[in-house]
């Protein structure tokens, strides 16, 4: 357990005080969120079911890419070293698209935060989604908040053991389905599912399924809000994306205070509207009291808004004492001024511009990218060879990456070298100016190419040159610069 010493200032005139030790460790207070209904709770359920549905079902979606190609719509093919997203196919050397996706994700998150605060954390973050699901199971098996608290405090009995075992069994099942679904994105879903249960899958598949099952079970079942409060870096800097027009969950202190307990027919004319029922605390998945002000532990789920509105309705008081609104509107309301929702602001415009630029660049790059890649390596030992007739010869390793799903033939020529002739080992006869290079679909074709130049045509020790290949079918031309070395004059 980590501890740290804290010194206490000796009060003037007093005898020196003994040092007090302050622990940096605090025991976890187990949170039993209470069931609540309302607009935001319903919104959360819709979001959760849609996201879970997408996650579990997406690997089963098929997409016809023609013969020889995998037909899974979303696939990261580890053995084939490709990623497939419907009709987009990404090769390992195109991994920079992943950078584009990450930039889109990050700027999208900044944009959503500037508009609606911690909407990602409260509604769509996987930790929130699965924790909500696990709490729902817990409530189903053990009952609502008070029953769960009583059960946890009660001594062990057959009933308690049965309920705990059932809950953990369902949690483990969900965790297994979740971990298993993740694996399905990395291979053919039907094939993996078919082999998995008869013990024919690879140890990697079983290992990773166990790993993701374990992490889901621990993070959503046990760690829960601790992930948001202690492990996640996002709450630490998301405050920088807010401004006074971002929607956030806050308690309207000017209306709620001074708080006090109240009966249904209480007179609220000379007191605050908060009846100190603590419903907002009891429904909170991170166990905080939003009445203490903005806190890093608040994930912006807005369940306290639903809870407080239920209470306000019972007391016939105006709703939204805890509100999901901008700071500017709250200030305006406290002064009796009109409110307005300001979505178009310099920072939201900036995020939209950045998002649009990144999307446009990615779309242009994807639509115009070549399905052909060439890599040339010049021989270094020897740098050149003097042939028996005095001509100079350089050797090159020429690699053609044909990313299409059909056979291709390319015409290879050399530009910028007077009198140059080509010899491709196994493909062309010496002395020709043109060589035909076939490339099988989806493969790298490697050729040894010799370029021969009469000595009298070489003016310098190093002569720039260009290798040009032309697709014999489409006419697409690809050029790569290189050099030809010789002894000089």
Output the smallest distance, CB 244 to ligand SF4, in A. 19
Would you say how long the chain is, in residues?
489
- Shortest CB 280 distance to ligand SF4, Å: 3
Give me the sign of the Cα torsion angle 282, 285, 289, 291: negative
Q: Tell how strand 385-386 and strand 408-415 pair up.
A: unpaired
Burial of 53 (0-12, 13-18, 19+ CB in 10 A): exposed
DSSP letters, 398-463, are EEEEE-SSS-EEEEEEEES-TT-EEEETTTS-TTBS-EEEEE-TTEEEEEEEEEEE-GGG--SSEE
247 is a contact residue toward ligand SF4 (CB under 6 A): no
Minimum Å gap between C-beta 93 and ligand SF4 is 44
Q: Which of 172-180, 183-191, 249-257, 456-464 is the region at the interface with ligand SF4 (rule: CB under 6 A)?
A: 249-257
- As a 3-state breakdown, the chain gives helix, strand, coil percent values, each rounded to 5, of 40, 20, 40
Residue 54 Cβ vs ligand SF4, minimum distance, rounded to whole Å: 24
d(CA 280, CA 302): 10
CA pair distance 4, 163, nearest whole angstrom: 40
Nearer to ligand SF4, 179 or 285 (CB): 285
Count of residues engaged in binding ligand SF4, rule: CB under 6 A: 29
Are 26 and 2 a contacting pair, CB within 8 Å?
no
- Is the Cβ of residue 127 or residue 482 nearer to ligand SF4 in the bound state? 127
Examine residue 116 and tell whether it contacts ligand SF4 (CB under 6 A): no
361/367 Cα distance (integer angstroms): 10
Instruction: Report, in Å, the least distance between residue 185 CB and ligand SF4.
Output: 31
Q: At what angle do helices 189-196 and 203-216 cross, to 10 degrees?
A: 90
Task: Please report whether residue 135 would count as binding ligand SF4 according to CB under 6 A.
Answer: no
Tell me the two tokens of residue 268: 């609220």
The DSSP H or E segment spanning 230 is none
Give the shortest CB-309-to-ligand SF4 separation in angstroms: 8
Smallest distance, Å, CB 210 to ligand SF4? 32
Q: Quick check: 43 binds ligand SF4 (CB under 6 A)?
A: no
Q: Minimum distance between the CB of residue 131 and ligand SF4, rounded to whole angstroms? A: 12
Q: Is the Cβ of residue 41 or residue 148 nearer to ligand SF4 in the bound state? A: 41
Nearer to ligand SF4, 107 or 307 (CB): 307
Residue 132, classified by CB atoms within 10 Å of its CB into exposed (0-12), middle (13-18) or buried (19+), is buried
DSSP letter (8 states) at residue 93 = G
Among 322, 372, 391, 428, binds ligand SF4 (CB under 6 A): 322
Per-residue interface string for the shown chain with ligand SF4, residues 184-203, x marking contact by CB under 6 A: --------------------
**Closer Cβ to ligand SF4, 94 or 289, answer by number:** 289
Whether 294 and 281 have beta carbons less than 8 Å apart is answered as no
By CB under 6 A, residue 262 contacts ligand SF4 = no
Residue 378 pairs in a beta bridge with: 396
Q: What's phi and psi for 374, nearest 5 deg?
A: -125, 140
Q: Name the minimum Å distance from CB 43 to ligand SF4.
A: 13
Nearest to 75 by CA among 90, 93, 53: 90
| Encoded tokens for 151 | 């059960």
Using the rule CB under 6 A, is 345 a contact of ligand SF4? no
- Does residue 422 contact residue 434 with C-beta atoms inside 8 Å? yes
Least distance to ligand SF4 from the beta carbon of 278, Å?
5
We find the least distance from the C-beta atom of residue 258 to ligand SF4, in angstroms, to be 11
Comparison of 312 and 403: residue with beta carbon closer to ligand SF4: 312
Question: 396: closest CA among 460, 334, 315, 466?
Answer: 466
Which token pair is 65? 């890419």
- Residue 317 binding ligand SF4, by CB under 6 A: no
Which residue number, 117 or 395, has a Cβ lying nearer to ligand SF4? 117
Q: How far is the CB of 471 from ligand SF4 (least distance, A)?
A: 58
Q: CB under 6 A: which stretch of 8-16, 124-132, 239-247, 268-276 binds ligand SF4?
A: 268-276
Nearer to ligand SF4, 236 or 380 (CB): 236
Write each residue from 269 to 308 as x if it is in contact with ligand SF4 (CB under 6 A), else as -, in one continuous string: -----xxxxxxx--xxxx-x-xx------xxxxxxx--xx
The distance between the two most distant Cα atoms of the chain, rounded to a whole number of Å, is: 113
Contact 152, 138 (CB under 8 A): no
- Fill in the DSSP letter of residue 336: T
Residues that bind ligand SF4 (CB under 6 A): 249, 251, 256, 274-280, 283-286, 288, 290-291, 298-304, 307-308, 311, 321-322
């Amino acid at each position: 357990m980590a501890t740290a010493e804290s010194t206490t200032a000796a009060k003037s005139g007093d005898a020196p005080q003994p040092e007090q030790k302050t622990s940096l460790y605090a025991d976890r207070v187990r949170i039993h969120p209470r069931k609540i209904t309302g607009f935001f709770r319903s919104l959360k359920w819709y979001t959760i079911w849609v996201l879970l549905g997408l996650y579990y079902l997406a690997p089963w979606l098929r997409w016809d890419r023609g013969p020889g190609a995998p037909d899974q719509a979303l696939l990261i093919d580890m053995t084939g070293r490709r990623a497939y997203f419907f009709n987009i196919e990404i090769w390992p050397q195109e991994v920079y698209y992943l950078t584009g996706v990450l930039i889109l994700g990050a700027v999208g998150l900044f944009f959503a935060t500037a508009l609606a605060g911690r909407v990602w954390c409260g509604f769509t973050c996987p930790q929130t989604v699965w924790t909500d699901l696990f709490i729902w199971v817990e409530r189903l098996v053990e009952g609502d908040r008070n029953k769960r608290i009583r059960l946890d405090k009660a001594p062990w009995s057959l009933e308690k053991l049965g309920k705990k075992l059932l809950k953990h069994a369902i949690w483990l099942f969900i965790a297994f389905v979740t971990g298993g679904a993740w694996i399905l994105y990395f291979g053919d879903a039907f094939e993996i599912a078919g082999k998995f249960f008869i013990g024919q899958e690879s140890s990697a598949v079983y290992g990773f399924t166990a790993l993701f099952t374990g992490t889901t079970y621990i993070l959503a079942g046990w760690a829960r809000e601790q992930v948001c409060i202690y492990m996640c870096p996002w709450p630490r800097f998301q405050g920088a994306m807010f401004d006074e027009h971002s929607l956030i969950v806050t308690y309207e202190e000017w209306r709620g205070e001074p708080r006090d307990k109240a009966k249904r027919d209480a007179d609220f004319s000379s007191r605050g509207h908060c009846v100190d029922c603590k419903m907002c605390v009891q429904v909170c998945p991170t166990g905080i009291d939003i009445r203490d002000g903005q806190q890093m532990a608040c994930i912006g789920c807005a369940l306290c808004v639903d809870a407080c509105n239920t209470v306000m309705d019972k007391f016939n008081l105006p709703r939204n004492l805890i509100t999901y609104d901008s700071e500017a509107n709250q200030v305006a309301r406290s002064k009796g001024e009109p409110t307005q929702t300001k979505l178009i602001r310099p920072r939201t415009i900036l995020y939209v511009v950045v998002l649009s630029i990144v999307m446009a660049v990615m779309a242009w790059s994807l639509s115009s990218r070549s399905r052909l890649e060439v890599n040339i390596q010049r021989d270094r030992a020897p740098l050149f060879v003097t042939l028996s007739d005095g001509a100079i010869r350089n050797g090159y390793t020429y690699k053609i990456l044909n990313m299409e799903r059909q056979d291709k033939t390319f015409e290879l020529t050399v530009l910028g070298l007077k009198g140059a002739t080509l010899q491709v080992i196994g493909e062309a006869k010496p002395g020709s100016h043109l060589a035909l290079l076939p490339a099988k679909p989806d493969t790298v074709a490697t050729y040894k190419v010799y370029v021969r130049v009469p000595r009298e045509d070489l003016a310098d020790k190093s002569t720039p040159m260009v290798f040009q290949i032309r697709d014999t079918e489409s006419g697409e031309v690809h050029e790569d610069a290189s050099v030809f070395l010789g002894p000089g004059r």
